[in-house]
Amino acid sequence: MSAIEKISFDQTGLLRFITAGSVDDGKSTLIGRLLHDSKSIFEDQLTSITNTTRKRGMQGVDLSLLTDGLQAEREQGITIDVAYRYFATPKRKFIIADTPGHEQYTRNMVTGASTANLAIILIDARKGVLTQSRRHAYLASLVGIPHLVVAVNKMDLVDYSQPVFEKICQDFAAFAEKLNLRNIEYIPMSALNGDMVVERGDQLNWYQGSTLIDLLENVSIEDDINHEDFRFPVQWVCRPQTKELHDFRGYMGRIESGSIHVGDNITVLPSGLTSRIKEIVLYEGPINEAIAPQSVTLTIEDHLDISRGDVLVKTGETPRVTKAFDAMLCWLSEQPLDPNRKYLIKQSTRMVKAVISRIDYRVDVNTMAHEATNTLKMNDIAHVGLKVQQPLVCDDYARNRSTGCFIVIDESSNNTVAAGMISPAEE
């Protein structure tokens, strides 16, 4: 089996997804149902949440307690942080991020969505498409999530009505036309009762589509990674200096996109120096080809000045190398943006000083309206211009999520204050 075949198999074995929606739409209950019905929780966990449920005077088992782990969340009955959970079925492994529904936790939603393959947006069947539903759909499109599932929850409270479900689907589809959402599926369900989550149940016989777990197990994510543009940010220059490897110089890192073969011509950016791939080395030994997202060590035929932060690309596939670019920026910090000070930008393995040179507009995430502003506060999303002290090697975020994103760091506190997605270059 070739390296490419191996990677394709491994990648289909893990799905990262998020749940989002308005407050009390049942996100945590849905995840609890997935964990419970897929037999992915321990007996002591089930006993603990059963006891907690009884203490509250509730009947049955409150499965939302499996994800609402923070004490403040348990007291309020809401999710205020991103809760990550892992579970597996015979077909696939999953990492779930349960994101907050409140508007003030937009930053948590963006954080959870940044690495997701799929987003589940829950909609309360009684309430229909709300402002927060639209907001989360917009954020999912902003961070480039390839697959979207609209889960119309609490169907048991509308007597499992097909017309109610179809009306919600129509309303959401009309809004989604304005967004860059490629693949949308609609599922009616009752997370509380388990209908259409893992088991189909007996109440939704008019729905002929897949259950949620069937969709999660079978959605194809092989094309979610850019397989065309080879991008290899250097993380470490390996010089063992041992007797056996006295002259060895290898460049270690993860292939963020594309593939590479022994003998391929490569260009080192931002310097522009060129060479050829001599070896591709794994722990197990050398291989002839590698593909994203493998972590490998590369050796080249020439002795070049290459260090951490440089990027190896195939000759002729040169991305942007620039000191100025535009981006969509999500402000994460409680401290507002200071337009007069310098920040650090970490993009891939490179760290550079930068200033936010202008703010074009702030996006009202509830209405998608563009608003003028001269600063950014926590949870604000804006289109900005940035200037950096040293050139960055970057792609448009829509083309390459790995090399098109960055974080902004306050160098005085070392706190991450913003996350950004690089916009296409102006012609």
Helices (H), 128-277: 131-142, 162-176, 212-218
**Residue 344 backbone phi and psi in degrees, to 5:** -100, 140
| pLDDT value, residue 115 | 81
Angle between helices 131-142 and 106-113 in degrees, nearest 10: 40
**The tokens of 168 are what?**
């919600």
- Separation of alpha carbons 223 and 165, rounded Å: 30
pLDDT of residue 4: 37
Pairing verdict, β 311-314 and 320-331 = unpaired
Model pLDDT, residue 32: 79
Decide: 193 and 221 in contact? Cβ < 8 Å.
Answer: no
Angle at alpha carbon of residue 382, lines to 323 and 17, rounded to 5°: 100
Q: Give the Cα separation of 80 and 99 in Å (integer).
A: 8
- In this prediction, the residues of the chain whose per-residue pLDDT falls under 70 are 1-12, 40-83, 100-106, 241, 244, 246, 426-427
DSSP 337: P
What are the b/e assignments for 226-243, b being 16+ CB within 10 Å? bbebbbbbbeeeeeeeee
Rounded Cα distance, 341 and 417, in Å = 13
Task: Report yes or no: 172 and 150 within 8 Å, Cβ to Cβ.
Answer: yes
- What SS3 state is found at 29? helix
C-alpha–C-alpha distance, residues 296 and 179, integer Å:
37
* Token pair recorded at residue 146: 């390839």
Amino acid in the structure at residue 272: G
The residue behind tokens 């204050």 is 417
Q: What angle do CA 139, 134, 420 make, to 5 degrees?
A: 15
According to DSSP, residue 315 is labeled T
16 Cβ contact partners less than 8 Å away, ≥ 6 residues apart: 94, 95, 97, 115, 116, 117, 118
Q: Phi, psi at residue 5, to the nearest 5°?
A: -65, -40
* Predicted TM-score (pTM) of this structure: 0.81
Q: Give pLDDT, residue 313.
A: 97
Q: Which domains does the chain have, with CATH numbers?
A: 3-224 (3.40.50.300), 232-314 (2.40.30.10), 320-422 (2.40.30.10)
N-to-C CA span, the chain: 44
Contact 408, 415 (CB under 8 A): no
